[in-house]
Structure 1
Amino acid sequence: MRSKLPLLSALSVGAIVLACQTYDFEPVEPLAIAQTTVEEVINARRSKPNIMLLVDTSASMTDPVNPSDPACMVDYQGSRTLCGREVPCNVDVCPTRWTELQAAVPQFLESSGQFVRFALTTYPETRGGTAVVDACREATQSALLKGLPDQEDDASLLAHASEINDLLQGIPNSGEGRPLGGTPTSGSLSFVGGLPGLQDPDRENFVILLTDGLPNCNANNANTGANPDLCKCTIDNNGCYGAYDKRGCLDSDASVAAVQALKEKEISTIVIGFGAETASGEGPAVLEAMARAGGFERTCDAARPCGEGDTCNPTTGLCNRSFFQAGNQSELARALEDISRAVVQEEPCLIPLDGPQRPTDPKLLVVYVEGERTPSSDSTWTLDDRGVLFTGQTCERILASTPEAPVKIEVRAIRQR
């Protein structure tokens, strides 16, 4: 006779049987997904941006761009010395910072001229004098060598940019009119920030600060040469005494504050350091603080790296250094080209996607035009190496947009990591 097990006993046996079974699990790496959303309100006929070129014409601009070059050593007062401020360089064999700048600027102005409203201010405003008050005079109206243009058609803007290039080329490396004096950066930034034309609410407004030295020349500097640690003297041989007791001290705080004041007026400052002084010592920290306050972001990717001594953050698609650093003509030309690419609207029907903004697969890209999902086609948009390129009727719609009737575009890209 077969007896029946109580229900509880039966469950216990079943549990034992189940416990004896084994399972093999294959580990699966979790899928990490990141989404980038780029929203653009496109006005193809938006006003062209204002760019003030604020160019440092201090005495150090006549120093050799490569001081280790034997061709830059000259006979002076019975001994061999490095050419530059005391004795002019033979620029045919020993280029200076100034001649390298003159060589780099023409292409920038020519390629960007029809898309940008340029102006030019130089500093310090020495008026040819060599006294301390002359060497440290900040830019005033007399240093505004070329104001913003009156006309905005392409031909007029290009001619205006060409005139600015002529003015820069006309400043000699030696002799009368050559770069002289110190680096009154804070006061000169304040001057250009007060120009009414650079506070246009209907345009993007920029200042490109191109300097080869540490900011100084502030007669109201809180520090003096009596306290070297706080002063951080910028004068050779620790010359922060007498008339340079305050003026010779590093003017970092006031310079950063001047950039912040410009940003409060919606004027972005782009900082370019040119030469050895801005690449070492106190230079990088000061220029970095100014550039961060200026609000201009340096984008990057594998095709457009950040340059010597800098790296690209793959997560943000931004350079880890906020200011541009150039040591010669080619590096300066590259910095100016990067700036042009960032501020010039040459192709309204293109929304650039850089680095981490791009999808891992074109199928993971979704585009909305005025809130309506728009599939890719020959008459709508395609994804190329630069980003989302609108074509056909969609591009025509963008080109017909105005400030009063813009087109809202939203691009959503998914990356699988």
Structure 2
Amino acid sequence: MKKALSLLLSAVLVLSAASVAAFAADSFSLEKAYDSDGCYSEDVGESGNGDITVSGSFAIDGTLAVSIPDRVAPGSTFYIPLFEDPADNVGGVVYEDITNTDYFKFKLDKDTNSKLISSITVVTDKRLAGSARTSYLKVVLNDMTDTDEMKTDGTITFKAKADLSSYSGKSSKPASYVDDSTDTWESGDTVTIDYTFWVSNEKATNDDNPDVGDRVYMDPDANDTNTLIWGDDRAALKFDADDDASKFYARLSTSNMSDVYAEYGDPVDADLWFYNFVGSPTVPATSKATLTLGIPWDDDDDYTPDPESCYIYTLDSDGYLTDVTASFTYSEDDQEIPGWSIRTRQLGTYIVSDTELDVYASDDGDVEDVEDDATADSTVSDGKDIPNTGSGDMVNVAVLAAVLSLSAAGAVAFRKAAK
């Protein structure tokens, strides 16, 4: 009996797994946009279901209208199918001939808000969502920090390079070719696609919890205290808004900046953690907002520095760092999340380091005058103060050390010359 139950349970598990796999695979549709994995694009459609609207015909002298009336995310890449079977034809013209650059010339004319479009290209012989290999429009959108919806549109044309009958004497012929009397298309004939996309960042409101990297804008509650926490307590913002608080772009990126690591981190073997509030937005607060940079490591990580011994820097638009450690206060439970807090009106790019960085040395070894713009911010009064880093004294020590080093080098050179 136990053996029979065991076999029955195994069969149920296998069927359940098969059902999950079946539902996980997105089916092919000409009215869906796909990501590179063949799933409905989560960046397309208000609910991320990949919905697009298609009308008209993909045919000679015809126009195919493709639109995304709901939200499409900026900075996204998605694929729009042009047809299902490349071997099918419309009016005697085989689809695969139209997307073949040997026979038709592809042209993109961007119109409204053209800067939102990075590129639109044709990708042929691609398999997505379990379909047969077919052709897609690959759409790549640029990023944007706007808080309003933006419309972008334009026209794509496929223009015949020569009469179909002119390929009669050539070894490689279009799939549409039958014989030298075939006149299914003539030189200059076109297939047109009109596209319209509505691009917008995702809306976040009071007490929302967007993921790190999400392209969101904050729409504060008027006359209320607003809170926004990114990711798993990676950062938090708290501020009071008035009755006319404006929306602001609120994307947080924690991606490593290799150039900063190379110039500042690697020379002192430092571990760095990044908090980049893209676009350096101004917070519409009645008074300064409280920004908390959350602890970026887990307790069970192999290496966990002492947060009260860490250093904090801001990165300016020219790539220079400024030590703002003294402007932050560390606390485990005084703010929305544990971390380092500061009172500020504008968000920027912050770097937490487990080691003091040499922020005054430029590439040529000269000492740079770096203005500390953190004076516009104020330290959060509660919690534990982070120790003063003594950056000013370190400059004097570094200069003195450089002078002594040069003197010693001169003496060695003199002794070698004397020999």
Q: What's the TM-score once normalised by structure 1's chain length?
A: 0.26
In terms of fraction of residues, the more helix-rich structure is 1
Structure with more contact order per residue of length (Cα contacts < 8 Å, sep ≥ 6): 1
Q: What's the TM-score once normalised by structure 2's chain length?
A: 0.26
